């Protein structure tokens, strides 16, 4: 844990400003989850982070999941198994980490969508013009969370959705824009290839889950090919 702490201190500002005992618990959780994945030969993890990590262990799981996702063991929070599978698919296609996030707001006039989560995005997705910081959970006030805006660039968005009771693959392409953080934690300003008002209408009318996954690069054709191979219905946002 001390070696990991030293390594992270070179990458994150503010490490000394958070509760040190709780910080070490997050790093211990990272070690334990990594060992679990290796022992059980798990490709990814869906972690029940809420509320037991805070109420029983006394730390946030977010930082641990961020580090694991960066090492290509994708982690979804809130025990979102379908989200973890989606991240794994995107990671296999891109060869890079994937991030499971919430869709939290729509600016229909600006044609932008804010994606956000507490602080579990892989550090490799940080905007290079912004220095990542160690921070605390916005509700429970415990570390460790990663805080930074997502880097600009082409992204592929997907979700293995079970909203209708049957599996289908939700697919979209878009551009992550250079923008300051919208909220604490990790967030990005996303412009889909379709107008934001149409994406909003599709998400609401189809009753989709609020979690989506993304990776950098254009992998929509590969996702559509995979859906054909698996005989999965496709919904394009």
- Which residue ranges of the chain lie beneath pLDDT 70? none
Provide the pLDDT for residue 209. Answer: 96
Q: What is the pLDDT of residue 87?
A: 98
pLDDT at 107: 96
User: Beta strand pairing status for 75-76 and 45-46?
Assistant: parallel
Determine what percent of the chain is predicted with pLDDT higher than 70. 100
Residues paired with 115 in a beta bridge: 103, 188
Cis peptide preceding 222, ω within 30 of 0: no
In this structure, what is the dihedral angle of CA atoms 222, 225, 229, 235, given to the nearest 10 degrees? Answer: 100
Task: Give the per-residue pLDDT at 19.
Answer: 98
Note the pLDDT tens digit of each residue in 97-149.
999 999 999 999 999 999 999 999 999 999 999 999 999 999 999 999 999 99
Q: Determine the Cα–Cα distance for residues 119 and 61; give it in Å rounded to an integer.
A: 9
| CA distances, 101 to each of 39, 76, 87, 178 (Å) | 27, 9, 10, 18
Closest listed residue to residue 163, CA positions, set 201, 220, 199, 210: 210
pLDDT digits (tens, 9 = 90+) for 88-97: 999 999 999 9
The single residue listed with the structure tokens 């980490």 is 97
In 3D, which of 133, 118, 208 has the Cα closest to residue 172?
208
Which residues, listed in sequence order, are joined to residue 12 by a DSSP beta bridge?
none
Report d(CA 152, CA 188) in Å as an integer.
8
The pLDDT, as a whole number, for residue 132 is 98
Q: Are 216 and 87 in contact (CB under 8 A)?
A: no
Which pLDDT does position 53 carry in this prediction?
97
Q: Which of 102, 105, 106 is nearest to 120 (CA)?
A: 102
Predicted local distance difference test score (pLDDT) of residue 190: 98
Nearest to 159 by CA among 70, 88, 65: 88
Q: How many CA atoms lie within 13 A of 69 on its CB side?
A: 37
Residues 18, 27 contacting (CB under 8 angstroms): no
């Amino acid at each position: 844990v001390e070696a990991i702490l030293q390594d992270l201190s070179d990458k994150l500002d503010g490490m000394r400003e958070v509760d040190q005992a709780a910080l070490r618990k997050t790093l211990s959780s990272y070690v334990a989850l990594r060992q679990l994945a290796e022992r059980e030969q798990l490709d990814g993890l869906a972690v029940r982070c809420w509320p037991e990590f805070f109420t029983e262990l006394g730390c946030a799981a977010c930082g641990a999941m961020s580090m694991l996702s960066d090492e290509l063991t994708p982690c979804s929070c809130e025990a979102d198994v379908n989200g973890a599978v989606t991240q794994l698919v995107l990671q296999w296609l891109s060869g890079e980490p994937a991030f499971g996030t919430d869709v939290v707001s729509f600016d229909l006039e600006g044609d932008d969508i804010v994606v956000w989560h507490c602080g579990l995005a892989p550090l490799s997705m940080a905007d290079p013009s912004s220095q990542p910081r160690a921070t605390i959970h916005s509700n429970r006030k415990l570390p460790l969370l990663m805080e930074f805006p997502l880097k600009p660039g082409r992204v592929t968005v997907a979700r293995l959705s079970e909203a209708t009771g049957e599996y289908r693959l939700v697919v979209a392409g878009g551009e992550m824009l250079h923008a300051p953080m919208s909220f604490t934690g990790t967030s990005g300003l996303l412009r889909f290839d379709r107008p934001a008002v149409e994406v909003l209408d599709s998400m609401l009318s189809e009753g989709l889950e609020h979690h989506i996954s993304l990776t950098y690069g254009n992998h929509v054709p590969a996702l559509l090919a995979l859906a054909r191979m698996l005989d999965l219905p496709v919904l394009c946002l």
